[in-house]
Amino acid sequence: MRISELGPAKTIAAQASERQLSGVLQSRGFGLAASLVLAFAWLVAPVIGYVIGAVAVSLSSRWTTRRKLSAIFAPILIGAIVAAGIGIVTVLSGISQTNAAMWNVIAGAYLTFGIAAAVFGLRLCALLRKPEDAQPVSAAPGA
């Protein structure tokens, strides 16, 4: 094969870079790091840490889309439900609407969200150990 048949150097470099990035995103190490960031980054950087973890998990090809979505959105939903519950109980119990009551809602929701994020992130880590989930998800139609 002649070098001229391969195409322009920019095209060759772009294809090599794409393959290299794809290999990183399919690696078990990236999946492990992504799931741990999702589980615990909210402790270090409350909002941005979780967003970074969610993006990393969504980029990884180690889990199905359904597992990724449940791990990313379930903690948010659980935190919202707890916040609503605490808020309703606060209003119905006749506690005055002070800053302390508002902080109770925020703290309860945040801690519940964090615990759920840790559970779902560690669940993704555990799924990396199972043989059926240890392989990258194929991009074949209908898969």
Tens of pLDDT along 10-65? Answer: 665 555 555 545 567 788 889 999 999 999 999 999 889 999 999 999 999 889 99
Whether 45 is in a domain gets the answer yes
Whether 13 is in a domain gets the answer no
Residue 134's pLDDT band (cuts 50, 70, 90): very low
Number of domains the chain contains: 1
Residue 139 scores a pLDDT above 70: no
Residue 121's pLDDT band (cuts 50, 70, 90): very high
Whether 42 is in a domain gets the answer yes
pLDDT at 143: 44
The whole-angstrom separation of Cα 82 and Cα 75 is 11
The whole-angstrom separation of Cα 120 and Cα 126 is 10
Whether 140 is in a domain gets the answer no
Which pTM was predicted? 0.71
* Residue listed under structure tokens 């195409």: 7
Full residue range of the structural domain in which residue 53 is found: 22-134
Whether 130 is in a domain gets the answer yes
What's the average model confidence in pLDDT over 90-110? 82
- Angle made by CA atoms 119, 74, 124, in degrees to the nearest 5: 45
pLDDT at 133: 46
Cβ distance 110 to 79 under 8 Å?
yes
Whether 16 is in a domain gets the answer no
Nearest-10 Cα torsion for 91, 94, 99, 101: -60
Whether 46 is in a domain gets the answer yes
Whether 3 is in a domain gets the answer no
- E strand or H helix at 33: helix 28-44
